[in-house]
Amino acid sequence: MAERVVNEKNGQCDNLRTSLPVPMFSRNDFNIWSVLKNCIGKELSKITMPVVFNEPLSFLQRMTEYMEYAKLLRIASEQATPLERLKYVSAFAVSALASNWERLGKPFNPLLGETYELIRPEFRIICEQVSHHPPISAFHADSESFRFHGSIHPKLKFWGKSVEIQPKGVVTVEFPKLNEAYSWSNVNCCVHNVIVGKLWIEQYGMMEVVSHQHGMKATLNFKPSGWNNKDLHRVEGHITDRNKRKTHFLYGKWTEFIKCTDYVSYEEYVKENAHKFKRNADDRSKSPNESPGNTPRKVLSKLNSLKMSSFKSLSIQEPDDPPEPSEGDIPKSDSTYSIDIPNSVTLWEAESRPANTADYYQFTNFAMSLNQLEDHMKQPRALCPTDSRLRPDIRKLEQGDLDGAAAEKTRLEEKQRENRKKNKKSQDELTLFPRWFKQDTNPHTKQDDWIYKGGYWDRNDDNLELDIF
């Protein structure tokens, strides 16, 4: 359709906004504990959260923030060797998490069949909510040099003092001209201090970026902050060749930068700076297999006098265990632990956030424009009728109408339930969604995945009833 292609020529509108229509509501008068106290150890996907805790984006739009540093994939495709390409793909995998820092608002849950499209100079992407129970969001991005696709099944659990977000699913990068593919799964995210103190976020766990054609792998450890915040934001790991020999060391902070050096330079640096790597006996980090809350027994006993059996999956601290990250202020990274190893190359650096970010949900410049109705989108049939930008609850929250957003959110949820009842009676309607993706085997990972069927950018919506909003 001509209206869409016009914008594809240069990839974006010349007037992308740098703020939202109104600043966000203060959440100081709202108690998240009053909502979460009955949800300990449970999945939160079925819990209705007050709209004040949302940010004015759908999860499909939030997922699109993977692409903020898409230029790294283009740079990767231009490298001469698979090793150099793996370095930049790994940097891209880390960069996709940078916008999460201080982002404490919950994105709106997408409706079944909801879509989101975005075109920028480095890529275009289509996302679709392909399943409601369980909630699964699929995406497919492409450009002249790469394809990036995957599906995410986010799981949220409340552990007493923290909320854990598990982004289940695998994502894949392909370089078609090189006949190469790389895949990985994202690490967990934890929101701390949901009872007392200021909320703050950390990413933690292991990420493996696998080069399927060349037998190489980048293994990255997103370190938990630890009791003294020494490891806050830190990421470090190594690249191994097909013989499992370590060839390069990767390090940095997922909020700021990623660097790479050869493994010999790393080993020499460690010998000369052992004090920077020495771990105290009391400086134990949480295992990725433990609850990120590590809720002490004395705290558990206060949580509505709930029985301890409700917390079997928690890692219970005894009184002599090391303390958790401090409550109160958002922790700051220990600058004395910063390292700069000789022969290092900077693969990625995060862009500065706008000066007004605290007034607008801690959005990055990229996030500010995601729900913007650009001029070309306002033309008839320019956007798919299921696009997230057309959701009235998100639009009202963005415009500062909290009551209107809550009412629209309730209306859309009820409408979705009614549509599901109707769909059970009509096989034709059952096949309408998902429209752009199908369940199939990922040819690289050999796992079940949601694969793009094609056709979105050439679609014709004129004869379809796509009334989900």
Task: Give the position of tokens 């969604």.
Answer: 433
The model's pLDDT over 186-229, given as tens digits with 9 standing for 90+, comes to 999 988 887 777 888 899 999 999 999 999 999 999 998 877 77
Q: Which of 71, 129, 68 is nearest to 101 (CA)?
A: 68
Which is higher by pLDDT, 321 or 429? Answer: 429
List Cβ neighbours of 280 (8 Å cut-off, separation of 6 or more).
none
At residue 229, the pLDDT reads 74
Q: Please give the tally of structural domains in the chain.
A: 1
Q: Which amino acid is at 458?
A: D
Band of pLDDT at residue 13, cut at 50, 70 and 90 = low
Q: Which amino acid is at 262?
A: D
Rounded Cα–Cα distance for residues 386 and 7 (Å): 19
Rounded Cα–Cα distance for residues 153 and 165 (Å): 10
Band of pLDDT at residue 165, cut at 50, 70 and 90 = confident
Q: Which of 186, 190, 180 is nearest to 158 (CA)?
A: 190
Question: CB of 41 within 8 A of CB of 92?
Answer: no
Of 8-22, 297-311, 338-352, 366-380, the one with minimum mean pLDDT is 297-311
Rounded Cα–Cα distance for residues 253 and 95 (Å): 10
Is residue 221, in this structure, part of any structural domain at all? no
Is residue 248, in this structure, part of any structural domain at all? no
Residue 5 has pLDDT above 80, yes or no: no
Is residue 226, in this structure, part of any structural domain at all? no
The model's pLDDT over 69-85, given as tens digits with 9 standing for 90+, comes to 999 999 999 999 999 99
Is residue 130, in this structure, part of any structural domain at all? yes
Is residue 367, in this structure, part of any structural domain at all? no
Residue 149: exposed, middle, or buried by beta-carbon count in 10 A (0-12, 13-18, 19+)?
buried
Indicate the pTM of the whole model: 0.85
Is residue 250, in this structure, part of any structural domain at all? no
The model's pLDDT over 417-457, given as tens digits with 9 standing for 90+, comes to 888 887 776 655 446 789 999 999 999 999 999 999 999 99
Residue 8 has pLDDT above 90, yes or no: no
**Token reading at 387:** 């696009």
Is residue 444, in this structure, part of any structural domain at all? yes
Is residue 413, in this structure, part of any structural domain at all? yes
Rounded Cα–Cα distance for residues 75 and 134 (Å): 36
Residue 389 has pLDDT above 50, yes or no: yes
The whole domain housing 93 covers 32-203+372-452
Task: Give the position of tokens 């370190």.
Answer: 223
Per cent of the chain over pLDDT 90 is 59
Q: What is the mean pLDDT of residues 118-141?
A: 96
Rounded Cα–Cα distance for residues 393 and 409 (Å): 5
